[in-house]
Amino acid sequence: MAFRTSAPLTEEIAERINWLGQIGRTDNGGVTRLLYSDSWLKAQTAVKQKMEEMGLSARFDDVGNVFGRVEGTEERDRVILTGSHIDTVVDGGKYDGAFGVLAAMIAVSRLKQEYGAPKKTIETVALCEEEGSRFHLAFWGSGSITGRYQLSDATTVTDGQGVTLEAAMRLMGFGQGKYPAARREDIACFLETHIEQGQILEREHLAWAPVSHIVGMKRMIIHLSGESNHAGTTPMTGRRDALYAASQMISDVISHAKEQNNGLVATVGQISIQPNVGNVIPGGCTFALDVRHHEYDVLHDFCTKELEKFRLIAEKESVDLDSKTWLDDAPVKMDPAMTQRHVSLARKAGIPFKTMVSGAGHDSQIFGTYCPTAMMFVPSHNGISHSPKEFTKLEDLETGVRMLMKILREMAY
Amino acid sequence: MAFRTSAPLTEEIAERINWLGQIGRTDNGGVTRLLYSDSWLKAQTAVKQKMEEMGLSARFDDVGNVFGRVEGTEERDRVILTGSHIDTVVDGGKYDGAFGVLAAMIAVSRLKQEYGAPKKTIETVALCEEEGSRFHLAFWGSGSITGRYQLSDATTVTDGQGVTLEAAMRLMGFGQGKYPAARREDIACFLETHIEQGQILEREHLAWAPVSHIVGMKRMIIHLSGESNHAGTTPMTGRRDALYAASQMISDVISHAKEQNNGLVATVGQISIQPNVGNVIPGGCTFALDVRHHEYDVLHDFCTKELEKFRLIAEKESVDLDSKTWLDDAPVKMDPAMTQRHVSLARKAGIPFKTMVSGAGHDSQIFGTYCPTAMMFVPSHNGISHSPKEFTKLEDLETGVRMLMKILREMAY
């Protein structure tokens, strides 16, 4: 590691991670902070208070995002925004999202302590609902800032108990004009530090990565209808076995993703068959397909070709195929100029790094279509995320904070 | 059809089928008569009474089988036994089992009316629990007669509510020595008429089939352990995807069963994956494999070779494989001499028939290892069984009864 470790900085990071990790802590040692739950409000409020303690001027917006501001001495009206989110999946880890929020707070407060007020205004942010774990509407916080979502969208989305996003938000005191509107026009750029959620940095013994793209993603549901029949009395010829057809499709799509060898990933993570009885030929099969790549053409061509193959397999096996693409997100390119400057800074600092693609979704993909955006990864042990086992070594967290400090120093001072 | 249809016989069959189908009738138009339930007892008791009305001397045995006897004038001590079962699956049909019982009753009573007492004793039988639907112990009635099961086996088997087979049996008045013991040493041979439960006869426009074998069956559970991981951030290389491995296995085993083209059938009817979330690589997969053939060597070789292939696929995909064969039943050959005589009778009668293998299990496979046994199929519309939609045309039912009459006449008179 090129950075000399600084006991006070390491200690501060450890202390902050553990402090925030206590809020919404589960018996499992994990963290559950679902949007507009009590533990979420407790965490957002604690973050706001901590921002104040750290010398930032803090405020909520009307959807519950929390900002901590340091006023620029020369450019006050355009804001360098940096942070991440503190909502979690059920029984998630204490690094995902949280680290990006804390890294921003620590970096900005340390810069202020060391160099005084910046020339350009910086705000740290704890965004709300990146995960979409309570409401199936991810990126509610960043989407509200950037204009992707309106408050009216909150009336139609409900959680598992049938509570609307609007009702849940109001119960927490938001969505009523009590705070400034979420929509912003003053964001100059967005920077997010996050754990990788994969094993690439760890396996390649790297400490840090500027992200070039956040992948595009297509998610499909494939439903096959064949004919259920007796496993013993139905000859092999003339069967309409939906699972047999599905197994050929799954085997085909995963094999071809492997063969591409271009970073495309394809996953079938969900399957169900009907009637799912050992001695009955499956008459129905439904499976989910998730495909990701950082170039939309590659993603689209792969899916189009595979669906065509699925059709041929379905025809051969005399099953009816119904496919639905319920998510079709284009890849988002991070700002090339910002990314390039970060590469130079990392090279100068002598840290082992590589530019990489994010296979997971992040708030940065929402900001990425709205303003120049940059994202930075730190390693993630065993690539485990959304789990109490989530872990990143302190020295890697420190690298993340130090790089963010260098970047903000260069940008704002 | 070579037989002149006889209105009285057709009517009698229709009347009897509908009469028995009313007992345990479901809202669906199906029939539910689980072993030792009220509807089952009602049906067995009604069958006993009907046997008496039809001129047979009827009795229960100690497990609840019902027999209707016509004493032979020359050979009294060795019994030609013919019948089937009246228990059903939940919401089953009114032909499966029931037709074989009624066909025997009608055939024997008509022969007696027409030709008087036979030389050899004949008994018709309504066996109990062929299906194994309430207790996972199929063939309890025939198994008790042939000595495969002892009363003590009833103490260890429970239904879904935790009631032991013994307790359920006692509640109905059986298993207490009130009736003669089930075990018999006087059975000369067994004959069973049954609906095919497949589509072969219907598709080939045949009216009847003597059965040469009841298939052997292996049933396995295959469990694969890989590694769950993020669908977006885990590169295709180095994944340990349990469903991808399973889909190759399923595709392979079904393809190879098709290629055999020797009557072997293989079915994967049940599958589950863990965690079964669309954006998570499946770390675990469990599936059930059901393979059947009428020659044990063919069955055994196929399964051995497939398991070896499964191992190679598992190795290639870096998943751990665990397989368990929980059922390994050898095929049972029906008595060749009896079957040959039935072929001659069918040929003489001029009915369109073929000798075939039964892919489903029947009481005849229990009797088949104990005494000379013959089984006869009538067609089954669309091969549907264990369903309210079960249906066999009256003219086909009549062919079944007439053939049984010819056979019994030749054997017993």
Binding-face residues of B in 94-153 toward A, CB within 8 A: none
What DSSP line would sit under A158-225, residue for residue? Answer: B-TTS-BHHHHHHHTT-SSSSS--S--S-EEEEEEEEE-SSSHHHHTT--BEEEEEE-EEEEEEEEEE
CATH topology of domain A216-329: Alpha-Beta Plaits (3.30.70)
Residue A392 contacts residue A203 (beta carbons within 8 Å) = no
Q: Does the annotation place A294 within a ligand binding site?
A: no
First to last CA, chain A: 26
Q: Which of B236, B251, B260 sits opposite A265 (nearest CB)?
A: B236
Residue B11 has pLDDT above 80, yes or no: yes
- Within its chain, how far is the Cα of A258 from the centroid? 24
Residue B206's Cα: distance from chain center in Å? 21
User: Which residue in chain B has the smallest CA separation from A220?
Assistant: B278
Would the pLDDT of B365 be above 90? yes
CA distance B258 to chain A (A): 6
Side-chain-facing half-sphere of A186: CA atoms under 13 Å: 12
Reduced to 3 states, what is the DSSP secondary structure of residue B308?
helix
Residue B194 known to bind ligand: yes
Residue B5 has pLDDT above 60, yes or no: no
3-state secondary structure of A365: helix
Banded model confidence at residue B3, pLDDT cuts 50, 70, 90: low
Question: Are A198 and B233 an interchain contact pair (Cβ–Cβ within 8 Å)?
Answer: yes
Closest CA–CA distance from residue A99 to any residue of chain B (Å): 18
What is the ipTM metric for this complex? 0.87
Q: Indicate the residue of B215, B278, B290 with minimum beta-carbon distance to A288.
A: B278
**B197 contacts A292? CB cut-off 8 A:** no
Angstrom CA distances, B216 to B87, B297, B300, stand at 23, 10, 9
> Within 13 Å of residue B161, how many CA atoms lie on the same side as its CB?
6
Assigned superfamily of B7-214+331-412: Zn peptidases (3.40.630.10)
Instruction: Mutate one of A211, A218, A233, A387 to test the B interface: name it (highest B CB count within 10 A).
Output: A233
Give the whole-angstrom CA distance, residue B94 versus residue B18: 8
What are the average pLDDT values for consecutive 10-residue runs of chain A, which has 413 residues?
64 96 94 96 98 97 98 96 95 95 98 96 94 85 96 92 95 96 97 95 97 96 95 93 98 98 96 92 96 97 98 98 94 97 96 95 96 98 90 97 97 97
Q: Is A268 on the interface with B (CB under 8 A)?
A: yes
DSSP bridge partners of B84: B126
- Strand pairing category for A187-195 and B280-281: unpaired
Q: How far is B288 from chain A (nearest CA, A)?
A: 6
Provide the pLDDT for residue B160: 87
Contact A266, A301 (CB under 8 A): no
Alpha carbon of B392 to those of A242, B12, B191: distances in Å?
27, 15, 20
Contact B268 A230 (CB under 8 A): no
Q: How far apart are CA B126 and CA B138, in angstroms?
A: 15
User: 10 Å Cβ neighbour count for A180?
Assistant: 12
Among partner residues B271, B292, B360, which is closest to A271 by beta-carbon distance?
Answer: B271
Contact state of A360 with B288 under an 8 Å Cβ cutoff: no
Q: Is B311 annotated as contributing to ligand binding?
A: no
> What is the reported pLDDT for B1?
39
Interface check A269 vs B, CB under 8 A: yes
Q: Which pLDDT band holds residue B28 (cuts at 50, 70, 90)?
A: confident
* Residue in B with minimal Cα distance to A283: B269
Q: What phi and psi values does residue A405 have, to the nearest 5 degrees?
A: -60, -45
Task: Scan residues 304-363 of A and list those with Cβ closer than 8 Å to B.
Answer: 358-361
Tokens of A151: 């408050």
A166 min Cα distance to partner chain B (Å): 27
Q: Which residues of chain B lie closer than 8 angstroms to A243, CB-CB?
A: 250, 268-269, 271
3-state secondary structure of A376: strand
Burial B345-364 (b: 16+ CB within 10 A, else e): bbeebebebeebbbbbbbbb
pLDDT above 70 coverage of chain B, percent: 98
Contact A264 B219 (CB under 8 A): no
Please give the CATH topology (third level) of the domain spanning A7-215+331-412: Aminopeptidase (3.40.630)
Place of tokens 């503190």: A86
Separation CA A337–CA A189 (nearest Å): 12
Q: What is the pLDDT of residue B6?
A: 62
Which of A196, A265, A278 faces B231 most closely, judged by CB atoms?
A265
Give me the pLDDT at residue A2, please. Answer: 41
Q: Where are the domains of chain A?
A: 7-215+331-412, 216-329
What pLDDT, on the 0 to 100 scale, is given for residue B138? Answer: 85
CB contact under 8 A, B236 and A360: no
